[in-house]
Structure formats: C-alpha cells, structure tokens
Structure 1
Amino acid sequence: MLKKLSLNSLLTSIFLLPTLAISTYKAEAHPLDFTFRNLTASPVSQLYVSSTNTDSWEEDVLGRDILSSGQSVDINFNGDYDSCLFDIKAVFPDDSYQEEYGFNLCETSQVTLD
C-alpha cells in the first residue's frame, strides 16, 4: 500500500511540474504584453509599437520576420513604462503603412489591425 501511494504521489508530482512552470511563467508576464493580429489584406513587414508620450517610432518589433494576413504574433515588453497608452504602425511590403493610436495595453491583451 505504501509503495502504491508513493508511486501515485511521484506520478502526480511529475505531471503537475509542467503546469506549475507554465503558471509561474504567466504570472511573470509584463502587464503590457499583447497579441497583435494582422487581419489586413497585406502582410506586415515592419511593426512599430511606441508609447503615445513619444514623438518617434521605436524599433521594428518584427525584425526580419513578416506577419502574413490572418496571422498573429505575441509582443512582449521589458522594462518600466509610465503610460498604458501606445500607438502602432504597420508597414506593408509596398512601403504603405497604417497607423493606429491610443491602445490602452493595460486593459487589453489583443490588438487587431484590419
């Protein structure tokens, strides 16, 4: 009986360990992190996310990646920010762009551009 109880406890611990690791990761997520969804007709070749307090666009968060129409990407923040309001600029392969202003990232976890 004792062996069976120990084996059950061991198996339970093994199966719970990944769940605890995932829970810990989510608890440490930055409050401004969000998922960006591209529902435009074109792929996005550059994506800029800047605080509304800034007069210029920050660096391209996609880097060398291209976000096809219908796809989404998780945007993760590092550091401290004094505002929840952010502007987004999506640049398309033909160098046209779409700018959207005033997303409150403290209140949303998903931003969709269409």
Structure 2
Amino acid sequence: MKFIAAMAVSMWLGASAFAADYYVDITNKTGFTIFYMYVSPAKSKSWEEDVLGENVLMNNATRRVNLRGYSSPVFDIRLVDEDGDSYTFWKVDVSTTDITVTLDDIDVD
C-alpha cells in the first residue's frame, strides 16, 4: 500500500512539474475598443472564456493576461472589437512574444 501511495505522489509531482505560469501583454493599436479577448492553448479545439470579462481594452492600451498552470507556452489568441471584427493570432509562443494588434491583423472572412 505504501508503494502505491508513493507512486501516486510521484506521478502527481511529476505532472505538476510540467505545469508552468506564463503571461502575454496585448497592446491595442486598432483605433477601436476591444470588447472580447480569448486565449486558449494552441492544441485546444475551442476558445476558453473571455479574459476581459466586464472590462474592455481601449485603443493604445495594453493588457497583461496571466496564464497559469499550462504545460505549453503556445496559445491561440482572438480579439473582437466594438464593430464585431476579429483578430486571430495562431500558435503564439507567449514565453517569447507579446502581441500588438493593428488593423493589418483583422481576420478576412
């Protein structure tokens, strides 16, 4: 029984050793207010909840998004502005890259 408990603790410690905390600074240079900001692991098939919540990201403002407990620093990021236009950044390594979103980044339908 002690062996099984030791193995369980070892596996838990090993799994948590792979989890890390990251952040990404996102700067809005679109000329519009960003109403929604979604950040999901790149391997995810869906977007996680809006990290802005009830807040917005005004033009020329920067928002730091803390990402805790993830096994990889690679994320997909989608922003939606006041007009409903979206800006999507795929496979961003947030350990080395921050985002400055401009009108050049607008998604084409």
The answer to whether TM tops 0.5 is: yes
Q: Structure 2: how far apart are the matches of 1:96 and 1:83? A: 28
Residue pair 1:85, 1:104 contacting (<8 A) in 2 also: yes
Structure 2 runs not aligned, ≥5 long: 1-19, 103-109
Q: TM-score, normalised on structure 1?
A: 0.66
Q: TM-score, normalised on structure 2?
A: 0.69
Corresponding residue number in structure 2 for 1:44: 34
Q: Structure 1: how far apart are the matches of 2:21 and 2:94? A: 8
Aligned: 1:107 with 2:104? no
Root-mean-square deviation (CA, aligned residues, Å) is 1.4
> C-alpha deviations, 1:68-106, integer Å up to 9, x for none?
111001111222x22221111001122221111111012
Corresponding residue number in structure 1 for 2:67: 77
Structure 1 runs not aligned, ≥5 long: 1-29
Flag the structure with higher strand content.
2
Runs of 4+ with deviation above 3 angstroms: none
Q: Structure 1: how far apart are the matches of 2:25 and 2:85? A: 22
| Greater Rg over alpha carbons, structure | 1
> C-alpha deviations, 1:37-85, integer Å up to 9, x for none?
1111211000001111001110000001111111001111222x22221
| Count of aligned pairs | 83
Flag the structure with higher helix content.
1
Of 33, 47, 55 in structure 1, the residue corresponding to residue 23 of structure 2 is 33
Instruction: Give the AA of the match of 1:70.
Output: N
Residue pair 1:84, 1:105 contacting (<8 A) in 2 also: yes
Identity of aligned residues (%): 30
Aligned: 1:94 with 2:83? yes
CA shift at 1:31, angstroms? Answer: 4.2
